[in-house]
Amino acid sequence: MDIHEYQAKELLKRFGVAVPRGGIAYSPEQAVYRSNELSGDKWVVKAQIHSGARGKAGGVRICSSEEEVAEAAQWMLGRKLVTHQTGPQGKLVGRLYIEEATNIAQEIYLGFVLDRKEERVVVVASAQGGMEIEEISSNEPDSIIRSVVDPAVGMQAFQAREIAFQLGLDAALIPQATKTIIGCYRAMSELDANMVEVNPLVVTTSGEIVALDAKLSFDENALFRRPDISELRDKSQEDQRETYASDRGLSYIGLEGKIGCIVNGAGLAMATLDMIKMAGGEPANFLDVGGGASPERVLMSFKAVLNDKNVEAILVNIFAGINRCDWIAEGVVRAVKELNLKLPLVVRLAGTNVEEGRQLLADSGLNITTADTLTDAASKVVAAWKEASQKEPV
């Protein structure tokens, strides 16, 4: 789960990370009011969306007057910002963060991520801040600093100091940098975050170290014990297909194709996507219905897939272990009837109670195509989709 910049900064403040003063605004009038509260002669108006590269899309503006603040807010609010991270559909701006301007002397990149190979939290830092880490890696690979944190003891002061010295910071700034690095690590560890990124972390002309931007991402599996974090979720920034599915306990990732997939098991789901592509089609989603799926859960899965208006055919691919094929078949029949499904539907069942499941499908009298193998199922659903959409084979 991602959160907004202003929310991430509020969390980091709890752990001793310095951030500029700012306030949230939902209208141009409120944006002007926030700038007056902050006083000063320059302010930064920032669109709050779950995406990086907002500045390149016009989502970050430095303003020198109330009129400029109001104009920037008027332009941003209600607009869909398109960045390389949002895709062509963009993200809707529903709120702004009005922040005091900061005089920058140096920009630094600081990130904390889970390295699954190391099975550790890894600190990634660079003296070349203000860019995406991919750009830094490509343009300044020698500037990247990596430091692995031992989970038994956590981030130690000596380790944070080493990172600060490697960044080339002045000796007088080392205590501040150490506090900031340890604070970010504590936020990640104590809040069950998957990632903490401060980019840029800046040294001001007055000799302060300040998090000018911040991004936190959280482990959704741990949100049950973090109700205060869960409340920060902004569903308007999420793919509505994925939101519908996650609210019902389904593992769903929206894609750009035309063939909807309902599969049990992440590995089988990935294989199914590959086979559809090899057969000449494009999958519309990744959906893992999970183990022990009831007919009701299968029905919910169909509804989740059909929330994508681009879906023109559906493949159900189940290898039942904990699951039972007769439960799946019952759910498929129920979904076709209750949802009045007219799209081509291919079902492949294997495993526990497979004969009972196939018999249920055969006795239903519905227009359901069955398949014995994954290869056969992928070929049939792609052929059915092409025929239904009147497209020639590639």
CA angle 188, 26, 236 (to 5 degrees): 60
Give the helix ranges, DSSP H, for the chain: 5-14, 28-38, 66-76, 133-139, 157-166, 174-190, 227-230, 240-246, 266-278, 295-306, 325-338, 354-363, 374-389
125-144 as b/e, with b when 16 or more CB fall inside 10 Å?
Answer: bbbbbbbebeebeeeeeebe
* Cβ neighbours of 118 (radius 10 Å): 11
Cα–Cα nearest to 190, from 344, 14, 59? 14
The CB-side HSE value for 204 (13 A sphere, CA atoms) comes to 15
Question: Residues 109, 185, 244, 252: which is the catalytic one?
Answer: 109
Active site residue 197: yes
Q: Is 107 known to sit in a ligand binding site?
A: yes
User: Does residue 60 sit in helix, strand or coil?
Assistant: strand
Q: What are the distances in angstroms from CA 354 to CA 336, 372, 377?
A: 19, 11, 15
Residue 102 in marked binding region: yes
Question: Annotated binding residue at 353?
Answer: no
> Which of 215, 158, 152 lies closest to 188 in space, CA to CA?
215
83 is in an annotated binding site: no
Cis peptide before 200 (omega within 30 of 0): yes
User: Is residue 147 a contact partner of residue 123, using CB atoms and an 8 Å limit?
Assistant: yes
- Is 213 annotated for ligand binding? yes
Q: Is 162 annotated as a binding residue?
A: no
Q: Which of 197, 242, 312, 330 is catalytic?
A: 197
Residue 285 structure tokens: 């989603």
Q: Is 135 annotated as a binding residue?
A: no
The reply to whether 109 belongs to the active site is yes
Write out the binding residues for Mg(2+). 199, 213
What are the catalytic residues?
109, 197
Write out the binding residues. 46, 99, 102, 107, 199, 213, 264
Write out the binding residues for ATP. 46, 99, 102, 107
Write out the binding residues for substrate. 264
